[in-house]
Amino acid sequence: MMSFFQVILILISLVIFSNGQRSDHIGINYGKLGKNLPTPYQSIETIRNMNAGMVKLYNADSETLRLLAGTGLHVAIMVKNEEIVDLTTESIATKWVHDNVFAYYPRTMIRYILVGNEVYSSHVQEQWDNLVLAMTHIRNTLRSHDIHNIKIGTPLAMDILSGTFPPSNGTFRVDTLTTLVPLLQLLRKSRSFFFLDVYPYFPWSKDPINMSLNFALFEGGNLTYTDPNTGLLYTNLLDQMLDSVYFAMKKIGFPEIPIVISETGWPNQGDLDQPGANIYNAATYNRNLIKKIVAEPPLGTPARPGTIIPTFLFSLYDENLKGGPGTERHWGLLRPDGTPVYQLDLTGVQTEYDPLPDPTNNFPYKGDLWCVVHAAANMTELGPMLTGLCTRLNGTCEAVLGPGKECYEPVSMIWHASYVFSTFWSKYRRRGTACYFNGLATLTTDNPSHGSCLFPSVTI
């Protein structure tokens, strides 16, 4: 019997999302890196009530695959990066397919097997070198059972390119070509797709002064860009990014491989130094994206007009166990408790929505920032974190280590940890360190310095 909580979640999703149609070309990425998320049963019911046509998993979880049986949802499952090398042994690859596909197919409508995730974004040469062989073994096992409607692919990020602007200059990184060309040959041979994780938020947020936010949100109106090499006219940033990949494939002899957008979205919240991450922009981006993807006839892109581009939105939930910058935990259509962050119609039929709060952070923050202990930090975790940082990092904690040191007083775990967090973050921010520290830290504009103790800051 369903709990009261389960019933409420399903009713909420019906009210917010359902209009009785299914969006065949729109799917949702279902990640589970969150604390106290709704169960897989509740999650799948919500995805169905949202009228999604597809769901993408980041593994081949048996419980979720069983629950997807009979739902009509097209399913993408994933081989983890660390499993790729093992699957170059044919018998292991065959067993993987039997355990993770044949055990559920065809009642669970598995349509894509994705081998690895953004493999070329990390320089693990062993995974690069073995990716195509692992994919080939999986495909051969499917073909030996006369299964041809499951496509094999691997999601790649935009960093696979060395050049993206203008779109006609799209070029793959030279270091990837040795293994990328066989990958594209396999995709062509198997009539599969180039799976692409593409986020207009990232190039916009790196240059929010010179790049139009409206252009990134499909709200440019008369704002257009013409590629000087092709004369193609662009009205949004996503099309530019997609076409840069199409042109890159064409340059090395693969002009016909279609793209599936395996991840895209916009963060609904972020840190103080992450502009444009808010509910208003997230809703605007996803609503306009859906209208583009579900349009009839298909819109495609300037370089591939009329092309259907199946698209998986990222993501179902705000995943609050992810590390890194604040945006990493805030891409969800739903909060961790399962309630919607904003209204969204995956079919693109709805055009009127309740008003959203005006964004207040569309321009970069200018000023000093400090990294301090979060007001909701778990105090039992603070001590071990502080001890670990001070043990590993020479100089980071010297100012708080004992009486007479300039930041020793007031003698407080929170005070000492805040100093250490600020010191470490300011020193290593440019290397990608976030003011997070397992959820114990947050950014502040208020200078926490006291007396002779000066907290290191970052000036934005």
Cα–Cα distance measured from residue 303 to residue 105, given in angstroms and rounded to the nearest whole number = 36
Phi-psi region of 26 (alpha: psi -120 to 50; beta: other; left: phi over 0): beta
CB 337 within 8 A of CB 43: no
Which helix (H) or strand (E) segment holds residue 136: the answer is: helix 125-144
DSSP 35-99: TTPPPHHHHHHHHHHTTEEEEEESS--HHHHHHTTTS--EEEEEE-GGGTTGGGSHHHHHHHHII
Task: Determine the length of the chain.
Answer: 460
Side chain identity at 232, as an amino acid letter?
L
Q: Return all residues near 300 (Cβ < 8 A) that are at least 6 apart.
A: 306, 307, 308, 309
**90-97 and 125-144 are packed helices; what angle lies between their axes, rounded to 10 degrees?**
60
Q: How far is CA 54 from CA 10, 76, 225, 312, 346, in A?
A: 18, 8, 33, 8, 11
Backbone phi and psi for residue 196, each to the nearest 5 degrees, phi listed first? -130, 130
Token pair 């019997």 is at which residue?
1
Active site residues: 118, 263
Burial class (CB in 10 A: 0-12, 13-18, 19+), 316: buried
Cα–Cα distance measured from residue 39 to residue 245, given in angstroms and rounded to the nearest whole number = 37
Cα–Cα distance measured from residue 371 to residue 443, given in angstroms and rounded to the nearest whole number = 5
For residue 376, the tally of other CB atoms under 10 A from its CB is 8
Which helix (H) or strand (E) segment holds residue 196: the answer is: strand 194-197
Which helix (H) or strand (E) segment holds residue 234: the answer is: strand 233-234
